[in-house]
Amino acid sequence: MEQQQQFRRKRDGVVQVLDGSEIRALVENRDAFARFVDDRFRKLDGDGDGRLSVKELQPAVADIGAAIGLPARGSSRQADHIYAEVLNEFTHGKQDSVSKSEFQRVLSDILLGMAAGLKRDPIVILRINGEDLNEFVDSSRYEPEAAAIFSQVNSGGNVSLRQCLLAALLKLTVDHGMPPASDSWVVENIVEPAMQQLGTDQLDQPVSQEAFFHDFKKLLSIITRRLQQHPVIVAHTEKTFEGSGIKRLLSNKFEFDKRCAERTQR
What residue type is 187 in one-letter code?
V
**Cα separation of 69 and 89, whole Å?**
19
Higher pLDDT, 262 or 69: 69
- Tell me the DSSP string of 149-161: HHHHHTTTS--BH
**Is residue 166 over pLDDT 90?**
yes
Q: What is the pLDDT of residues 91-101, one digit of tens each?
A: 887 778 999 99
What mean pLDDT do residues 66-75 have?
A: 76
Write down the H helix ranges in the chain: 2-8, 21-28, 30-44, 54-67, 77-91, 100-120, 131-138, 142-153, 161-171, 184-186, 192-197, 209-229, 244-251, 253-265
Confidence label for 250 from pLDDT (cuts 50, 70 and 90) = very low
% the chain with pLDDT above 90: 44
pLDDT reported for residue 238: 57
Contact (Cβ atoms closer than 8 angstroms) between residue 146 and residue 189: no
Q: Which residue has the higher pLDDT, 156 or 6?
A: 156
pLDDT at 174: 87
CA–CA gap between residue 265 and residue 259 (Å, rounded)? 10
77 CB-near residues (< 8 Å, 6+ apart): none
The DSSP output letter for 190 is I
At the topology level, CATH places domain 19-123+241-265 in: Recoverin; domain 1 (1.10.238)
Please name every residue paired with 127 in a beta bridge, in sequence order, or none if there are none: 13, 233
The answer to whether 133 and 176 have CB atoms below 8 angstroms apart is yes
Q: Domain extents for the chain?
A: 19-123+241-265, 130-230
> Cα separation of 40 and 260, whole Å?
22
Question: So what's the pLDDT on residue 253?
Answer: 44
Closest-CA residue to 122 (of 19, 31, 236): 19
- The answer on pLDDT for 74 being more than 90 is no
**Residue 64: closest CA among 21, 102, 13, 115:** 115
Using CA atoms, how far apart are residues 90 and 96, in angstroms rounded to an integer?
Answer: 10
CA 75 – CA 55 distance, rounded (Å): 19
pLDDT bracket for residue 249 (50, 70, 90): very low
If 0-12 CB within 10 Å is exposed, 13-18 middle and 19+ buried, where does residue 196 land?
exposed
Higher-confidence residue: 119 or 251? 119
* Between 120 and 256, residue with greater pLDDT: 120
- Angle between helical axes of 131-138 and 209-229 (0-180°, round to 10): 150
Checking if the pLDDT of 36 tops 90, the result is yes
Query: Per-residue pLDDT for 5 more than 90?
Result: no
Contact predicate 262/249, CB 8 Å: no
Q: What is the pTM of this model?
A: 0.59
Cα pseudo-dihedral 42, 46, 49, 50, rounded to 10: -30
Neighbours of 34 (CB within 10 A): 12
- pLDDT tens figures, 100-126: 999 999 999 988 888 888 788 787 788
> Can you tell me the mean pLDDT for 35-54?
93
Average model confidence (pLDDT) across the chain? 81
